[in-house]
Amino acid sequence: MALWQRATAELIGTFWLVLGGCGSAVIGAAFPGLGIGHLGVALAFGLTVLTMAFAIGHISGCHLNPAVSVGLTVGGRFKAGELPAYIVAQVVGAALAAGTLYFIASGKAGFSTAGGLASNGYGLHSPGQYGMAAGFVCEVVMTAAFLFVIMGATDERAPKGLAPIAIGLCLTLIHLVSIPVTNTSVNPARSTGPALVVGGWALEQLWMFWVAPLIGGALGAFVYGLVAAPRATAARVVASR
């Protein structure tokens, strides 16, 4: 598959992740009586990854996230030379989705971006008023866990065909824990899209939602590489049973 085709798939997939996930927070959770709440938003993010993993996993690997692409590179699963194309595609997809979400949401009288358009933040802009240090550690740890699950679920020794489910549920769990802390990023592209629309504080705090997830993604992949037995060793263990 040509790089442009894989990058285009990443753009489409990241568009869907931001539109579906952030859209559930901006439109669904805010609609009176609908009541999707914290759980609904977390599930929406998980479902975007789950559905796109089945739709484009065989095309691009369905990264949808610069931290995932970097982590998979650290883990030896992705070519470093292809990182720029993937990351640009992911950020463009996220930006297009944020613009689309703004257009839809602003169709209601009285809509304002003062609510953040599901932007990520810390301090006064954290849903639970968590400080920068807490938010940074949360983003590093959650992204590391996400990459650890991705590496394990997509290992050739793992049960076949179940990786999208494990990865989607992992992202749901991550949101259940960390929405109150940072509104959950674990994805620099997801953070960049809404921040470009909101501007101001969202852009000022965006640095953390690039630095922390990238560190976490690299860390998670590195740790998985340490604890996962080499393929040859694993084969010998199975043969000896």
Q: What pLDDT score does 239 carry?
A: 37
**What is residue 109's predicted lDDT score, i.e. its pLDDT?**
87
* CB-CB contact of 209 with 125 (8 Å): no
Query: Could you tell me if 225 and 129 are in contact, meaning their C-beta atoms sit under 8 angstroms apart?
Result: no
Under 8 Å between Cβ of 141 and 186: no
The answer for residues whose C-beta is within 8 angstroms of residue 25's C-beta and 6 or more apart is 41, 44, 118, 183
Question: For residue 231, what pLDDT band results from cuts at 50, 70 and 90?
Answer: low
Percentage of the chain surpassing pLDDT 90? 85
In CATH terms, 3-230 corresponds, of 1.10.3470.10, 1.20.1080.10, 3.30.70.20, 3.30.310.10, to: 1.20.1080.10
DSSP structure class, residue 61: -
